[in-house]
Amino acid sequence: MHDDIEAIRKLFDRYTELWVQHEMREWGELFTEDCDFITHRGVWWRSREENVRGHKDVPGSVLAQKKNYSQTVVDIQPLTPGVMLVHTEWAWPDHVLPGAAVSEDRRGSHHCGSRATLGAVVDPSGTEHTTQRAR
Q: Three-class SS of residue 18?
A: helix
- Give pLDDT tens digits for 3-60: 778 888 898 999 999 999 999 999 999 888 888 888 877 888 999 999 999 999 989 9
Cα separation of 106 and 59, whole Å?
Answer: 17
How many Cα atoms occupy the beta-carbon half-sphere of 125 within 13 Å? 6
pTM of the model: 0.81
Cα separation of 65 and 59, whole Å?
Answer: 10
